[in-house]
Structure 1
Amino acid sequence: MHDDELSVSVETVRALVEAQFPRWRGLPVARVASQGTVNAIFRVGDGLTARFPLQPRPVEAARQWLEGEADAARELLGRTRFPTPEPVAIGEPGAGYPLPWSVQTWIPGVVASDADPGESVGFAHDLAEFISAVRAIDTRGRIFGGQGRGGELPAHDPWMRTCFERSEVLLDVPRLRRAWAVLRQLPRSGYPDTMNHGDLICGNVLVAGSRLAGVLDVGGLGVADRSLDLTGAWHLLEPGPRQALRDRLGCDDIEWERGRAWAFVQAMGLVWYYERSNPAMSWMGRRTLARTMADPSPA
């Protein structure tokens, strides 16, 4: 999926686990099929997941990143009624793999990309409950860090120009440019920033019986525009349940439209970047864009 992507095999994972964590020696190791773009994921026994960063970076920077993810996971753990991974350990480079890696608890369920909950009002209510519980976590004086989505919409203009240029043969770019010209001007809602999961896409949400069963990839938990987690409304839901989520959260027009804008920003990048390397992720971007552009359309 990336030009400089690292390769991780089951044999490598087994060797690392056996060398560094003897208490898990002999547990079966299996690759987890995933649309994820950041980590290769392996199940270790029945209760653990090993995650291996796919893109090279300096070892200490990688370790700091994994430790930050673990801190975020601990902060979220038990703050909602929905299961989230618990950090267990951080492994060291070895067996031909050049970076630190992490171990978390396994959360059962089926990812929303495989068990589409889009028509479930019950799921929408669950998702609203999760978002509300995350927002209620104390920011402890922290502010948005200035990286990625969740700050000011116009700060993403350079990225959006790249996306439009790369999408000329894939999408109706003139219409999407007009939409962005409207969305980027949306002001802050007047509410203070809150805690957000930050990436409520299909591959990070677990479903059981058309209800929310758990939430994955929680290492991005942090302070941002309170509308950021509303991206899940467009990534995950069809119109009726989407309205149910909005009603449950009590979103005003500006907050809701900014949620649509953040979903638009994310989806624009998914379509072209993963067109060949991860078609399922690219398709998800297309579906999210279609949802954000449905009536009433911003363009």
Structure 2
Amino acid sequence: MHADQVDVSAEVVATLVAGQFPRWRGLPVRPLPSTGTVNALFRVGPDVVLRFPLRPFADPGLRDELLREQEYARLFAARLPVAVPEPLGVGEPGEGYPGPWSAYRFIAGGTATSDLVGASDAFAHDLAGVVVALRRIDTGGRSWSGTGRGGPLAAQDAGVRAALAVSGALTDTVALARMWDRCRDARRDNPADGWIHGDLMPGNLLVRDGRLAAVIDLGTAGVGDPAVDLMPAWNLFDSGSREAYRRALGVDDPTWERGRGWALAQAINALPYYVETNPVMAAIARRTLRAVLD
């Protein structure tokens, strides 16, 4: 998917595990199928999942980022109504893989899809409960860090316009540009930042028996504009459950429009980038862009 992607094999993973986590030495290691765009996943025995960043050179602070992700997982675990990944450790670079990697307790569940839960008001309420619980966690005076999602939408303007410029054959860029202008300029009456997951994509939501079982992948979690976590209204839910999600969260019109803007920004950047390399992500992007125009 990425020009600078590092591919890692199960054999390399087994060697790294044996050297750094001897308690798991000898357990079977197998790759897990994933349509994610950031990590390669491996299961070790029945209880452990390993996450190997596909681009370990992209961030010189990657190890600190992985440690911070595990810190947030511990913070959220006691405060959210569903499971989050339980940290088990951070691995170091070794032969065959040049960067740090992380280990978590495996959580059973299927991946959310629009076909499976997109029309489920119950699932919309489950997810809204997670977002409400995140908002209630004390930020300790923190605010948006200045990078990543959660700041003013205007900071995404150049990227969105660049993506629109190369997507004319893929989607209705004229209508999307008009919608983007509207969302970008939506006011923010309450400037207080709150805890956000930041990447509530279908692939980061686990389902058991039709209900939300876990929220995974906390790599983008942090403090910022709570409107970011409205993205599932468009990337997952149909019109009916979209309204159920909104009612459960009780958001005002400007916040809703900013959430729509975050969904649009994520999708229009993903569509041209993944259209050839990740059909699942491209399909979610197309669905999202149709929904934001409803």
Query: TM-score interval w.r.t. the shorter chain?
Result: over 0.9
Question: CA offsets per residue over residues 66-97 of structure 1, 9 Å max, x none?
Answer: 11111121111121120110111111111211
CA distance in 1, matches of 2:58, 2:120: 43
Q: Does 1:172 align with 2:197?
A: no
Q: Which residue number corresponds to residue 186 of structure 2?
A: 186
Residue 231 of structure 2 aligns to a residue in which SS? helix
Q: Which residue number corresponds to residue 147 of structure 2?
A: 147
Residue 59 of structure 1, CA deviation = 8.3
Q: Which residue number corresponds to residue 267 of structure 2?
A: 267
Structure 1 counterpart of 2:9, one-letter code: S
Structure 1 runs (4+) greater than 4 angstroms displaced: none
**Alpha-carbon contact 1:4-1:56 (below 8 Å) kept:** no
Residue 23 of structure 1 aligns to a residue in which SS? helix
Report sequence identity in percent. Answer: 47
Q: Which residue number corresponds to residue 251 of structure 2?
A: 251
Residue 43 of structure 2 aligns to a residue in which SS? strand
Residue 169 of structure 1, CA deviation = 1.6
Q: Map of 1:119-268 to 2, 5 A cutoff?
A: 119-190=119-190, 192-268=192-268
CA distance in 1, matches of 2:174, 2:259: 22
Residue 220 of structure 1 aligns to a residue in which SS? coil
Question: CA offsets per residue over residues 38-76 of structure 1, 9 Å max, x none?
Answer: 110111111111000111327862211211111121111
Q: Which residue number corresponds to residue 14 of structure 2?
A: 14
Q: Structure 2 regions of 5+ residues with no counterpart?
A: none
**Alpha-carbon contact 2:56-2:100 (below 8 Å) kept:** no
Structure 2 counterpart of 1:237, one-letter code: F
Question: CA offsets per residue over residues 122-172 of structure 1, 9 Å max, x none?
Answer: 101101101100111110010101112211111111101210122122112
Q: Structure 1 regions of 5+ residues with no counterpart?
A: 295-299
**Alpha-carbon contact 1:191-1:226 (below 8 Å) kept:** no
**Alpha-carbon contact 2:40-2:51 (below 8 Å) kept:** yes
CA distance in 2, matches of 1:78, 1:86: 11
Q: Which residue number corresponds to residue 31 of structure 2?
A: 31
Question: CA offsets per residue over residues 25-50 of structure 1, 9 Å max, x none?
Answer: 11111111111111101111111110
Residue 207 of structure 2 aligns to a residue in which SS? strand
Q: Which residue number corresponds to residue 4 of structure 1?
A: 4
Structure 1 counterpart of 2:111, one-letter code: V
Question: CA offsets per residue over residues 171-226 of structure 1, 9 Å max, x none?
Answer: 12112111112111111132521111110001100011221011110232211112
Structure 1 counterpart of 2:137, one-letter code: I
Number of residue equivalences: 294
Structure 2 counterpart of 1:268, one-letter code: I
RMSD: 1.5
Residue 119 of structure 2 aligns to a residue in which SS? coil
CA distance in 1, matches of 2:137, 2:192: 13
Residue 269 of structure 1 aligns to a residue in which SS? helix
Provide the TM-score with structure 1 as the length reference. Answer: 0.95
Q: Which residue number corresponds to residue 45 of structure 1?
A: 45
